[in-house]
Amino acid sequence: MAGVFGSSVATCSRHSTLRSYVAMLALIACGNAYSAITFIAADVQKPEHPVVKSVEHLSQLLSTRSAGELSIQVKANGELGTEPEVLDKLRKGTLDMGRVSLGVLADTVPSAKLMSLPYLFRSRDHLWSILRGDFGERLEAEVQKSGLVLVMYLDSGTRNFYSKKPLRTRSDFKGLKFRVQPSPVYKDLITELGGSPAVIPYDKVADALKDGEVDGAENNIVSYVSADHYKYAKFLSLDEHSMVPDVLLMSKKAWARLKPAQQELLKVASLESEDFMAKLWQEKEHEALVFAKKNGVTVISKSQLAMTGIESAATKLYTRYVQDTKDLDTVLQIVSSK
């Protein structure tokens, strides 16, 4: 993890001995001197979703290591609003924490918009190497400037298209309506591919697919299954157009309630929860793909897609959204980096 918690070098090291030592110091410092704090965290996903489980894991670590002084209560199922509504509450300080897709920050965090560009990353290793370098530090600073605190990243896999009809070439998108996140990049991506974008709250997508309001959507495989989208969109195209992680954010008001030792404790626990999430996500992703296939989903692999036509249309967005020459250089460096 990085967030407001230090350099990418510290993030990369993650030595277990150092973690334990820092955690022990934080625990000793915390003791029973502070009143117990339970932060409320919002999530649109179901309680069994890996992102919810990972934030609950973070809560368990905090509670154990602070002798019950710190904990997090997750309000799942969109109980506290949509992701844009959660962001608004965090900035106003009326909500403590919220887990959202980094793509939702694209309107207010310039580097998040760059991260949302399609087909930017070749693999997860590529993604994490970028996040743990200079670009990651810039991203975290811009999140702070927007009025939020970045607590940790959560691996959300790759986002893929799914529809009621097979999607193998760019022409297959023509005339179809797709649900997208409230992000200008995603809206324009669908338009460039020949489809029509529709912004619909996450918890309404299954009904929209069922009722024919939309023909398809895009998301990671775990959410595709857990939200029942697979029941109505039986064709899953593994194009991997986006590898934008989720983030756990904290309001500055909530962050200010923590003493320095408690902030350090949150730092260490969040690092471990990132690792927990990465392992859990890979397991759940495999399970979801097997489940989808067993339940009648046709999975179209990347090798079966005419990616040249799709990618050439999507990468037109690079020059549209990257007006600054330095940012364009950054994007090109990301694409060409190993």
pLDDT digits over 72-85, tens only? Answer: 999 999 999 999 99
Same domain, 230 and 256: no
Same domain, 81 and 196: no
Question: 118 in a domain, yes or no?
Answer: yes
Question: 279 in a domain, yes or no?
Answer: yes
Q: At CB < 8 A and 24+ separation, what contacts does 203-211 make? A: 203/44, 203/77, 203/78, 203/82, 205/179, 205/229, 206/231, 206/232, 208/179, 209/164, 209/179, 209/233
Question: 22 in a domain, yes or no?
Answer: yes
* Sign, Cα dihedral of 191, 193, 195, 200: negative
How big is the chain by its Cα radius of gyration, in Å? 20
Confidence of residue 33 (pLDDT cuts 50, 70, 90): low
Same domain, 121 and 256: yes
| CATH at 114 | 3.40.190.170
pLDDT beyond 80 at 35: yes
Same domain, 123 and 63: yes
Decide: residue 66, CB within 10 A, 0-12 exposed, 13-18 middle, 19+ buried: buried
Question: 207 in a domain, yes or no?
Answer: yes
Same domain, 45 and 103: yes
pLDDT beyond 50 at 62: yes
Confidence of residue 320 (pLDDT cuts 50, 70, 90): confident
Q: Taking all residues of the chain, what is their mean pLDDT, rounded to a whole number? A: 89
Same domain, 16 and 69: yes
Its domain, for residue 29, covers 8-155+245-284
pLDDT digits over 240-285, tens only? Answer: 999 989 999 999 999 999 999 999 999 999 999 998 999 999 999 9
Same domain, 131 and 109: yes
Same domain, 148 and 26: yes
Question: 2 in a domain, yes or no?
Answer: no
Same domain, 86 and 148: yes
